Amino acid sequence: MEKHTQLKLIVWTKRVSGVIAFFVWIFILYSVMQSSAPFREQAPYCMAGTMLTFGVLTAIFKGLEYWEQSANSK
């Protein structure tokens, strides 16, 4: 794959994964907030959903940055 095309693919993959993670996060928060339980009981689920969503996003970004660095070093 051509270097310029590969770098463009990496940038767009980062953007798309960020947007998908944002909407997944909003969906998780919406789902938790629909519960009739008080916020004190919902808070751990909100925190866990946020940490899980953005933890996975961070791992994806780290992998893409590694791929980007290896593409730039060629």
For 49-60, write each residue's pLDDT tens digit.
Answer: 999 999 999 999
Average pLDDT over residues 38-51: 92
Nearest in space to 22 (alpha carbons), one of 44, 47, 54: 54
Q: Is the pLDDT of residue 36 over 70?
A: yes
53, burial (CB in 10 Å: exposed 0-12, middle 13-18, buried 19+) = buried
* Residues comprising the chain, all counted: 74
Q: What is residue 66's predicted lDDT score, i.e. its pLDDT?
A: 95
Structural domain total, the chain: 1
Q: What is residue 1's predicted lDDT score, i.e. its pLDDT?
A: 65
- Distance between alpha carbon 57 and the CA centroid of its chain, in Å? 3
Q: Are 21 and 53 in contact (CB under 8 A)?
A: yes
Domain coverage including residue 51: 3-72
Q: What is residue 9's predicted lDDT score, i.e. its pLDDT?
A: 93
pTM of the model: 0.84
Angle at CA of residue 23, ends 36 and 47, nearest 5°: 50
Q: Is the pLDDT of residue 71 over 70?
A: yes
